[in-house]
Chains A and B, each alone.
Chain A
């Protein structure tokens, strides 16, 4: 039996879904820890990113944070955090995942505010808006498409990274893959591939759903296809 057939057999066994530590339980763990991590990341990154963008400071900091986080291995955070005051278990895993959600959320919040039309900002100032009103009623609404894009990137990345929580027995769908590797390739090949399909499928599904959400929360005039169409029209006018 080749590995793909073995994977289908494994996925077709109802007990593999409903057993303790089965697919359904692992899926629940995966989703709950990912949701907590993304929520925590948003709570930290969005206010900071919006404020930095509003005050036009810390652009270098945003770049630094995303570069450094790229170089830190997930495995390192997953193994270090349980040994700090966070202790073993869910909180340290959630914090480790949240760390990787912060850079895209932060960068997009910052860019979102920075790209707001300076004329809109000037107009708001001219109308006597205070700094806070300007942020809340002009810059924030204009930044929504960027916030949504950052959310999508962060959420997909967290769901993908959550598979690694299995290295420290943190639960989630990665646990199925790890268990398969524990059985040895010949015996666990099917389970390994099945786990991979589940993890990858979840990430791709989330990407597709959030791409849809991103489109829905982007006001019509700001949608990329419109912008592109308008640019093409402008070029045609300029060229002709």
Chain B
């Protein structure tokens, strides 16, 4: 009890405080929810755009060069600059934050999916052709399943980096957990709040990554023996 009292008398600025977590659980949960939903939506949208792009780059070799070059250049553009380009048009809101993270996730997924598709051995492709598979059958029943590990790697990389990237959204006030970190910094450098936001970010990335890894195992049972 005396500890309690002395704690109240001089709260100090600890790196972590359960008291803070308890007192602000609503704010913290809301930030986690915003962060997670932005990440999941971004990766889903990015995957829906990226996979057809990757297949197009795989089918039409002349498209592969431009697609890879464009994604390479876009990936070099700093995230803050991307916010700067998009915000004046889409405004300061969730739409801008979503667009930026979708663009980055898109690049990662496209590059890995193209690499995965290109790894399909030519013998396998020829065998499928010889069995009378058409272009679509070959894609859906041979090439995409074989490229699945590459695609999943891309999804995992995209998810983890998206979790980190969402925090840059504080520039327009839509940073999810970044909002928590930034507010803690501005609010007299409140360490417990900064640390809580950071730990939750890393934890969220870990959880989503493990979930995707688990999904990958279920989707590629034929790889189990190799492991």
Residues of A within 8 A of B (CB): 3, 67-68, 70-76, 79-80, 82-83, 156, 159-161, 163-164, 166-168, 174, 177-178, 180-181, 185, 189, 192-193, 195-197, 199-200, 203-204, 207
Contact = CB atoms under 8 A, between A and B. Distances in A.
A70 B167 contact: no
Contacts of B177: 73
Nearest to B178: A75
Instruction: In the A-B complex, list the 5 residue pairs whose CB atoms are closest, starting with the nearest.
Output: A196-B84, A160-B78, A71-B205, A76-B198, A3-B88
B164 A193 contact: no
B178 A73 contact: yes
A174 B198 contact: no
Given A195-B84, A199-B80, 12 more contacts: A3-B88, A71-B209, A72-B164, A74-B167, A75-B170, A76-B197, A79-B185, A166-B80, A167-B171, A180-B84, A200-B85, A207-B76
Which label, helix, strand, loop or mixed, suits the secondary structure of the A interface?
helix
Interface in B62-118: 73, 76-85, 87-89, 91-92
Contacts of B31: none
A83 B171 contact: no
A172 to B, nearest CB: 10
B213 to A, nearest CB: 12
A197 B160 CA distance: 27
A72 B201 contact: yes
Nearest to A160: B78
A161 to B, nearest CB: 7
A160 B165 CA distance: 13
B47 interface: no
Contacts of A75: 167-168, 170, 175, 178, 181-182
A207 to B, nearest CB: 5
A185 B91 contact: yes
Contact of A71 (B92, B163, B184): B163
| Residue in A71, A156, A163, A178 whose Cβ sees the most chain B Cβ within 10 Å | A71
11 contacts: A73-B164, A75-B168, A75-B175, A75-B178, A83-B191, A185-B87, A185-B91, A196-B82, A200-B76, A200-B77, A200-B81
B198 A161 contact: no
A76 B167 contact: yes
Contacts of B175: 75
A160 B75 CA distance: 10
B55 interface: no
A70 B178 contact: no
A192 B76 CA distance: 18
